[in-house]
Amino acid sequence: MKNRLSKMLAVPVVLGLIAGCGGGQPEQTAPAAAKPSEPAKAAEPAKAAKPAKAGGKVTVQFWHSLGGKNGEYTDAMIKRFNESHKDIEVVGTFQGGYDETVTKLQQAIASKNAPDVSMLERAYVELFADADVLEDLTPMMKSSNVSVDIFNPGLMGHSTFNKKLVSLPLNRSTPIMHINKTMLDEKGLAIPTNWDELKKVAEALVIKENNEYKRYGVTMPYDTWYPIAMISQAGGKFFSDDKKTIGFHDNGVGVKVFNFLKNLQSTGALYYPPAKDSGNITTQMFVDGKVGIMYGSTGSIGGLASTVKFNYVTAFLPQDKMYANPTGGANVSLLASSKNKAAAWEFIRWMETDSQGALPFILQSGYLPFTKTMVESTEIKEQWAKEPNRKVAYDQLQYAIDTNKDVAWPEVMHEFFSAIEAVMYDSKNVQSTLDTFKKEAERILAK
């Protein structure tokens, strides 16, 4: 195994504080069901993989990170597969949030007890692929006459590593703007399409009485997702092209992004929530009409639509120099150690391409359709006609860009969180904070 994951396998780390869809916590599908963005607890020992059943029926172990309603939809998908495949039985096991699944998978690989198939938050795919523990799906794709061309390119950024196809999209998402259009209409304000318009609208929505803010303009959860989006919108990249440093320091993009956010925060135009439970806090404020615009995941659309009492719409994240947004959610991978690769691949192939595979799960959960066939299906078209907010999220994928793709991302991410906290909570100097972050990032990247 390569150096980085080998060290992590020896002493598994808890990859906490990866809020929302941008990282390690289960995605929020409804305000009441949202999960807090707090450090993951120490993972319980991973359950042992069961051997293939006698009598010719093969057991495939599938680890996933979806609880609540999305877990129920996942169980239903597995049940459909088992009912249609008499010689294979998939056993799905919820392993906790994305970060907890990663920790348990590290342990399982080290003890040679890994599952056959696992869900992997897309930013961790490279870490495992670099350790040669993920199967190259290319030969299986060819044997099944499945082409990568069937997938939406905007969701394939974390599927390949060193020219190997090591994962395929499943429960994927992207950040968008959730908007209380009733509130904007009352002020005669249009939906913002760029940063200048966002500033104008957010400031116009602020209500301050007796030196206390009663209403804010815009909010976003504590997460790396949204600053990364803004870095791309301002023409920067998270990592430099040579992966030796960060790509938003020397060009001034990072200073521009965080100064913009701090300026909004200083006037009440931006409410930046506490780190703990930030997703719940921002969602509840939006539902209660205490903020007009919320940056959040596509995974919140269904829950918000059934909860809010105002005219609720979605929109692209506003541009600066360009439209740009990262993606989130998880892919699915086949472990190289699997003893049941043919059966495991059949399960993956079925989820990805069969009309009874992931399509019903996508319709139920609100995750993004990931193949062109899904997008063209009658079911998706009918859903989009009834709920145009969902189509907005898919349309924004044309601007998808993931510039934080690197084996070192999990380590660098923690340092980036520290930088965000220093600026947004402690009001430390933006330039000096980013100077420190750059040094730490370069130290990690040089390992």
At residue 54 the predicted structure's pLDDT band, cuts being 50, 70 and 90, is very low
pLDDT at 442 over 50: yes
What's the whole-number mean pLDDT along residues 17-30?
40
pLDDT of res. 53:
53
Give percent of the chain above pLDDT 90. 83
> How much is the pTM?
0.86
Give the chain's mean pLDDT: 89
Say whether 175-325+403-445 and 3-172+328-376 share the same fold: yes
pLDDT at 155 over 90: yes
Other CB atoms within 10 A of residue 71 CB: 16
At residue 20 the predicted structure's pLDDT band, cuts being 50, 70 and 90, is very low
pLDDT at 249 over 70: yes
pLDDT at 395 over 80: yes
Of 328, 223, 230, residue with least CA distance to 276: 223
Give percent of the chain above pLDDT 70. 88
Of 358, 365, 244, residue with least CA distance to 303: 365
At residue 366 the predicted structure's pLDDT band, cuts being 50, 70 and 90, is confident
pLDDT of res. 379:
97
pLDDT of res. 299:
83
* CA separation, residue 224 to residues 131, 193, 421, 445 (Å): 25, 21, 11, 18
At residue 3 the predicted structure's pLDDT band, cuts being 50, 70 and 90, is low
Query: Using CA atoms in the order 180, 186, 191, 195, what is the torsion angle rounded to 10 degrees?
Result: -100
What CATH superfamily classification does 175-325+403-445 receive? Periplasmic binding protein-like II (3.40.190.10)
pLDDT at 427 over 80: yes
Report domain extents, the chain.
Answer: 3-172+328-376, 175-325+403-445
Compute the chain's Rg from CA coordinates: 22
pLDDT at 34 over 70: no
pLDDT of res. 5:
59
Q: Which two tokens stand for residue 162?
A: 């060193």
What's the whole-number mean pLDDT along residues 371-397?
95
Q: What is the pLDDT of residues 175-227, one digit of tens each?
A: 999 999 999 999 999 999 999 999 999 999 999 999 999 999 999 999 999 99
pLDDT at 337 over 90: yes
Distance from C-alpha of 171 to C-alpha of 59, rounded to nearest angstrom: 23
**3-172+328-376 sits in which CATH class?**
alpha beta
pLDDT of res. 300:
87
At residue 6 the predicted structure's pLDDT band, cuts being 50, 70 and 90, is low
Q: What is the pLDDT of residues 280-301, one digit of tens each?
A: 999 999 999 999 999 999 988 9
46-55, 114-123, 173-182, 262-271, range with the lowest pLDDT: 46-55
Residue with token string 């499945």? 146
Q: What is the pLDDT of residues 79-120, one digit of tens each?
A: 999 999 999 999 999 999 998 999 999 999 999 999 999 999
